[in-house]
Amino acid sequence: MTQVPTPTRATTGRRPSAVLIGFMGAGKSTVGRLLADRLGVDFVDTDIELVRRTGRSIPEIFESDGVDGFRTIEENVVCDVLDNHGGVVSLGGGAVTTAGVRDALADQRVVYLRVSPERGYERVSGTDRPLLATEDPAARYAELLAERTDIYSSVCTFEVDADAAPDAVADAIVAELARELDVRTPE
């Protein structure tokens, strides 16, 4: 298994403004960038950070280290980012399946981007997703989403309908955060 290099980014000493969770295809990366821009903070996608730190693609890690090996690396990256990043963070769709990540989310503002199986699968079909490499990827997508829905709901601060357009999703999150954080909403 690959050792994850020590992070090089400076620590902020504060928790993220928001942590986005949800299944693949929910729009976490797209919405995360939009949300960070609206809040005037940095954005970190833990999938991209994981690839940067390991020097390998996610499919390569799945192939060489297996699902469990990937989840261990992912947990280390996620926990480090949550400890050291004060902006918006998006997690990989399966990150919440490990107890260490769920524990690390306990004191965070966690936003669950809830996507329908149809819309989510539409967004990821044709992409290289190791967990969907089956004879019926649409059925596998729906099955995995159903398995994880309760986990996502159990760790989130609030949920947002992610079937909507990314701008609308980001605006809905800003409105909810404004209630929690007393931040100004864009006019």
Binding-site residues sit at 25-30, 47, 71, 93, 129, 148
Residues flagged as binding site for Mg(2+): 29
Q: Shortest CA distance to 83 belongs to which of 63, 106, 62, 53?
A: 106
Strand order in the sheet with 158-161: 43-45, 88-90, 18-21, 110-114, 158-161
Is the separation of the CB atoms in 25 and 94 below 8 Å? no
Residues flagged as binding site for ATP: 25-30, 129
- Distance, in Å, from the CA atom of 81 to the CA atom of 94, rounded to the nearest integer, reads 16
Residues flagged as binding site for substrate: 47, 71, 93, 148
- Distance, in Å, from the CA atom of 111 to the CA atom of 176, rounded to the nearest integer, reads 10
Query: Could you tell me which residues come within 8 angstroms of residue 163 by beta carbon, excluding any fewer than 6 positions away?
Result: 115, 116, 119
